[in-house]
Amino acid sequence: MTGEKRTKKYLESFRHEVKLMKKMDHPNVIEFYEALEDKQYLYLSMELCKGGELFKKVENGKMSEHRAAKILYELCQGLKHIHDQDIAHCDLKPENFVFKDRGTDSPIKIIDFGMAKPVPPHVYLSVFAGTPYYTAPEILEGKYNSACDMWSMGVITFLMLYGFPPFHSSAHKEGSASTKEILRKVLDGFTPEVRAGYGAWFPRDIKVSAEARDLIAKLLTRDTAKRYTIDEMIAHPWFSKAKGYQEPVDPRVQQSLLEFRRSNKFHQIVLHSLMQHCDREDERILHEAFNSLDADHDGMVSFKELQDKLKGLRAEEIKKIFEDVDENGDGKLSMHELKLAFLQRKVLAKEERLWEAFSRLDLKNTMALTFEEVRDCLMQDRNARHLVTEKEIKEAFDEADVDSDGVVDYDEFLYMMGSKKVPPRVGTLPHRLYKESRRHFSELETKMTARKLNAQQQKKTQKS
């Protein structure tokens, strides 16, 4: 590469980094001020951070879980802001986390967007990015998205709690030989078991809580559909337990209830079809949460029982949650209904899970669902058979078939599922309908906000 081409490429990279940093506005992400240049140099002006890198804190050994949880929770908030902008950082590591000052309660910031890339829905990256110790296996395989950051967070959490990275080379290897060995181990994956020795597993000699190990395991899974999203990491109970308090109900289930929204019939039918695919870990989480909610152990959760556990919410908010989750309207919440709420949040969180849900219905692998496929999948769920009739399934299917061609394709499926994170693909009829519905919803939200502000102003006027 000639000097001129190298300079041009460097300038493009610099402008790209500046463009992404301008989108950031969060207390746990470095603040960008301006970019300057003269005949010789380019300059980035950012907020001053004097507290040093997180790397300096961990190179002397492992942290307490209390301290690690505080730092990681702040980093999660910053990373959530980045992911909410449809951006993958692609180079998360302790060297790219800096403290604002030297105080013990100093906020921590995510820095260095040199490898960051926009990753809108349905888009996968292929160019290598990252640092070997923290690189996700899918990056090495040449097809990745923002889930690569969650793998890196798993490695960083492991490093902070155990004092060494899970993927490392032999002491006698250096340079390219060391890098190759690390990357080979990354591709081999992480084994979430407690074992003797030190490697890509939980070493028996170092005591770490079961909750912390569970979080690390959820992040260091090769299956990106199963790997935790940033929202799921934030909701993991390890954070509250490490800080010394116990949530009345598992935060993951609480968040599912808070986010649950009664949707169209096809959406509900898809969730019912997935009930039998709920894995053992999800079943355990749900049963523990249900038992905690069901104070009188009668096998159902009443409004009062839910209200007693969700003390931070107003009565009208809890009432809305209860009515939305109470699918059959009997005034009580069953285990089946709690599972529906949990599954909705989980499935809508990332495209890999939505694709899995679509594929499970697509029995003939035609990339288009027929009424018979949807009906047959749903009828396998014992509870669903009592809740919907074949006529109702047909009506829901016809509603989902927005172009009336007799099948429901992937984009129609996404439109009916209504995930904000994974809309239908651009240029399709479902995408146009989705954009229209979002525009209408935005206008409705604006009107509702204006009404609330007006009502508040009237109350103030009346008091004065």
CA gap 303, 320 in Å, rounded:
11
Q: What is the DSSP letter of 301?
A: B
Of the candidates 155, 135, 157, the residue with the CA atom closest to the CA atom of residue 144:
135
State the Cα angle at 89 between 240 and 188, rounded to 5°. Answer: 80
> Could you tell me if 430 and 407 are in contact, meaning their C-beta atoms sit under 8 angstroms apart?
no
**Facing residues of 195 across strands?**
203
Catalytic entry in 25, 91, 308, 411: 91
The SS3 call for residue 280 is helix
Continuous H helices in 189-293:
210-219, 230-234, 238-242, 251-259, 265-274, 280-293
Exposed e or buried b per residue across 16-55, where buried means at least 16 C-beta atoms within 10 angstroms of its C-beta? bbeebbebbebebbbebeebeeeeeeeeeeeeebebebbe
Of the candidates 147, 62, 66, 55, the residue with the CA atom closest to the CA atom of residue 108:
55
The SS3 call for residue 357 is helix
In 10 A of CB 445, how many CB atoms?
10
CA 26 to chain centre: 18
Q: Which helix (H) or strand (E) holds 37?
A: strand 32-37
What's the longest Cα–Cα distance across the chain?
79
DSSP calls for 106-162: --EEE---SS-EE--TT--B-S--S-GGG--HHHHTT-B-THHHHHHHHHHHHHHHH
The count of residues in the chain is 464
CA gap 123, 125 in Å, rounded:
7
CA gap 316, 307 in Å, rounded:
10
CA distances from 300 to 93, 141, 433 (A): 46, 47, 39
CA distances from 354 to 18, 267, 411, 417, 462 (A): 33, 12, 11, 9, 51
Q: Respond yes or no: is residue 101 known to be catalytic.
A: no
CA gap 305, 319 in Å, rounded:
12
Continuous H helices in 163-250:
175-188, 210-219, 230-234, 238-242
What amino acid positions are annotated as catalytic residues? 91
